[in-house]
Amino acid sequence: WSLGCLTYELLAGQPPWEDEGIFDPMGRILAIRRSQEQGRIEFPFHFPHVARSYITELLQKDPTKRLGAKGAACVKDHAMYRSLHFDFEKLHARELPSPYVPPKSGVDADLADSEEGLQLDPSLFATYQDDGTG
């Protein structure tokens, strides 16, 4: 279920259930809960059909009917991953190339686990000294 919420939020930029019209926190929670119980999920127009299907099946209220209830193989075999030509074997073997490689900074992070350690400026870690003024 949480994978469905996360996937929706990554693709839409917002949670699958939201009610901005209600300002009372408990009222918002109850309104969102009602939407969940009724299975109402509104998808932005740009969502591909395969993503809608994937998310809807993951957010199935009844856990016995939810995508993945019969094991991870069902999730991996969903049309969503097939459409992406996702290679789970390469993922498991850690052979997939990184989609983003951050630029190297001036700090060599490889030293962080060495015996030499990473040299940091001690002034960055100055502790608070109470001057008695309260």
* Burial group, residue 67, by CB count within 10 angstroms (0-12, 13-18, 19+): buried
Cα(first)–Cα(last) distance of the chain, in Å?
A: 49
Lowest mean pLDDT among 14-23, 29-38, 103-112, 121-130: 103-112
pLDDT > 80? residue 122: no
Q: Tell me the average pLDDT across 108-114.
A: 59
Q: Tell me the average pLDDT across 93-114.
A: 75
Structural domains of the chain ordered from first start: 2-92 (1.10.510.10)
Hey, CA dihedral for 89, 92, 87, 7, is it positive or negative?
Answer: positive
Give the largest CA-CA distance in the chain. 65
What local confidence, expressed as pLDDT, does residue 43 receive? Answer: 85
Q: Tell me the average pLDDT across 26-45.
A: 73
pLDDT > 70? residue 21: no
Identify the band that residue 20 occupies on the pLDDT scale cut at 50, 70 and 90.
low
pLDDT in tens, 49-102: 999 999 999 988 889 999 999 999 999 999 999 999 999 999 999 999 988 888
The pair phi, psi for residue 64, each rounded to 5°, is -75, -20
What's the token pair of residue 78? 């969903």
What local confidence, expressed as pLDDT, does residue 61 receive? Answer: 81
Where b means 16+ CB within 10 Å and e means fewer, 81-117 reads eeeeeeeeeeeeeeeeeeeeeeeeeeeeeeeeeeeee
CA distances (Å), origin 74, targets 59, 88, 123: 15, 13, 53
pTM check: above 0.75: no
pLDDT > 90? residue 15: no
